Amino acid sequence: MSAQERALPQTEANGPRQATDTSHSHTHEHGAGGHLRDCLVIAATSLLLIGYWFEWLPSIWGVDTALLAALIGGVPIVATAVVAIYQRGDTKVGLLVSIAIIASIAIGEYFAAAEVALIMTIGEMLEHITLEKSNTALKKLAELAPLKARLLENGSEREIAAELVKIGDRLLVKQGEKIPVDGKVLAGYATVDQATITGESIPVERRDGADVFGGTIVTMGAVEMVATKVGQDTALGHIIKMVKEAQASKAPSARIIDRWANWFVPLSLAIAVLVYLVTGDIVRGVTILIVFCPCAMLLSTPTAVAAAIGAAARRGILIKGGESLEKLGTIDTVLLDKTGTITVGKPSVKDLCCYNGWQKNDLLAIAAGIEKRSEHHLAKAIIQAAEKENIPLAEPSCWEPAIGQGIIAEADGRHFLLGNQLLMKNKQVPLTPEQQAYCLEHQQAGGTAVIVAADGAVAGIIIIHDPLREGAKATIAALSRENIGNIVLLTGDAAVVGNAIGTQVNIPTVHGDLLPADKAKYIEAYQAAGGKVAMIGDGINDAPALAKADIGIAMGYSGTDIAVEAADIVLLSDDLNKVPETIRKGRKAIRTIWQNIIVANAINLAAIIFAAFGLLGPVLAAIVHNVGSILVVLNSARLLRQK
């Protein structure tokens, strides 16, 4: 078993079958069944040619040559239709074709029956080939899985199968090799091509302490790393699993079309009987049955969804299903979290002011000790500041989070508060005019003020700055060009900080001093006003809002697991420019789905009219039927193109 096979709920070796499989009940898979079908097609074709061109062989073993060809080509179609009806209750496609073949034979149109079966089968073969081309995303992702790893053990290195790597193993990756699993760099320096995972076009530098993804390639240098995630827990394993599940899920339009298609059998039979009663020509009735099959319409949505999700995955955009893809195309309001979304999410301490006899080192020791248990971006900045000064952390004896405000703790018999001004206000800790002015000055510059209070008095104020993401301003401009009517910044930070950041990136509406529940309430408010809302965030505090929004977009695979789980779309890189790109992909997919539906129904309607007036025979009807299906699949395949 390969490493990637271990990383997935077993993907078929010869390529995954997507949601498109269920739409065509008479489509045969490759493998043994596919080879048998090919042989039957060759046999039926030969018999048809013999019967048509050589009058000296009108029958074989007393059976009309054309009838024999019809039976050879038609029996597999009829058998598949019967199985589909028995196992799944599927009467949408195979039943109509089967009735058409049987009716043609019943009226003595053996040659027409044989040609219908032959053209249908050839059409399915061509359609299968086209679908395979549009469903290559998972194959290409699976091919990224490394086969080998260099294990460092007892001072020596040896090659092992990548699937045997365990968490904690020390590995060596040299120039030109694939990184076998997710891990952290321990030593060395390298540039790594992460395009296959995150969609980043430019290789990134990786050195001590940096995270690396399995399946990415070291383009220059070499690194020693420790394995942190293996098998299905790696980024690549998660990507393939999510894409597989997403492509297999049905979009709302697909479910509507499925229900609509259930009416096709009785409707087509009724129209076929009506045409026969009016014209007295049973051949026209049989032709109606052939052209009425809704194959093209049934393929219109799942092929577009599979292609769009696959193409997005190759760009580092994970869309969790067809429903998310369709909703994405309707978005007109975008709400963004500040920290880790508009900003880089790697804040650092820029200033610190002590009060009431506290010294810098003592303040950092207690603040970093309190923040040690927190996963907040600001906590990491304080801890890093203490570590940079080699200040030992003071361990609190009691620790309690105040959601959206800060932390309440006890250490060395003293009561501490660490958080924003709202926490101080709620706990009745007064700030002097000087302290308020100090906070305001830095907040207006985009900084965040973290206040530390000891036993009810302010001990110090720590100023933290988080730089803007590169291209954040350009992203907001791109969203405006995509006709996003409302672009809103939400932040748990002070409103004055949010306004400063909003001004820098041209976000017109900013809401600050928000608790996680407040963000969700703003989403509800925009939805109540008729907006289709996308929420973009990356932290635990964003999870309620991500789940509440019509579309939740989580920034960066390295974001918190709860945010990734709550989101409908995950951007594997921290590139904010992928947000407008993702919206464009959703809108293009919606346009493609509607193009497919219109083309499929237009062809069907025109063919029915021509058949009713006797201008379209059974053979040409079969050709038209399959041309429509192939056109739909080819149109969906255009979504795979990358610009």
Confidence of residue 530 (pLDDT cuts 50, 70, 90): very high
Task: Please tell me the least confidently modeled range out of 254-258, 364-368, 376-380, 431-435.
Answer: 254-258
Model confidence pLDDT, tens digit, residues 59-90? 666 667 777 777 877 788 788 778 877 776 66
pLDDT value for 44: 67
| Cα–Cα distance for residue pair 3/231, rounded to 1 Å | 7
Task: Please tell me the least confidently modeled range out of 21-30, 49-58, 104-113, 456-465.
Answer: 21-30
pLDDT value for 198: 62
| Cα–Cα distance for residue pair 250/323, rounded to 1 Å | 7
Under 8 Å CB-to-CB from 92, ≥6 apart: which residues? Answer: 25, 258, 261, 262, 264, 265, 294, 298
| Cα–Cα distance for residue pair 186/174, rounded to 1 Å | 14
How far is residue 190 from each of residues 146, 169, 198, 207, 575, measured CA to CA in Å? Answer: 18, 19, 17, 7, 21
- Domain extents for the chain? 3-137+242-309+588-640, 166-229, 317-344+468-572, 348-465
3-state secondary structure of 148: strand
CB atoms within 10 A of CB 53: 8
How far is residue 46 from each of residues 30, 78, 100, 288, 546, measured CA to CA in Å? Answer: 22, 21, 22, 27, 60
pTM summary value: 0.65
Query: What does pLDDT average to over the chain?
Result: 79
Q: Are strands 486-490 and 569-571 parallel, antiparallel or unpaired?
A: unpaired
Confidence of residue 604 (pLDDT cuts 50, 70, 90): confident
Segment of 129-143, 187-201, 415-429 carrying the highest mean pLDDT? 415-429
Is 225's pLDDT higher than 60? yes
Confidence of residue 185 (pLDDT cuts 50, 70, 90): very high
Model confidence pLDDT, tens digit, residues 146-157? 778 899 988 788
Q: Are strands 406-411 and 457-465 parallel, antiparallel or unpaired?
A: unpaired
Q: What is the DSSP string of 524-535?
A: HHHHHTT--EEE
Structure tokens of 322? 């067809």
Q: Which CATH architecture has domain 317-344+468-572?
A: 3-Layer(aba) Sandwich (3.40)
Q: What is the mean pLDDT of residues 626-633?
A: 83
Q: Class assignment of domain 166-229?
A: mainly beta
**Which residues form the catalytic set?**
337
Higher pLDDT, 36 or 525: 525
CA quadruple 317, 320, 325, 327: dihedral sign: negative
Q: What is the mean pLDDT of residues 623-637?
A: 84
Q: Which CATH number fits domain 348-465: 3.40.1110.10, 3.10.105.10, 3.20.20.70, 3.30.70.20?
A: 3.40.1110.10
Looking from the CA of 560 toward its CB, the CA atoms found within 13 Å total 18
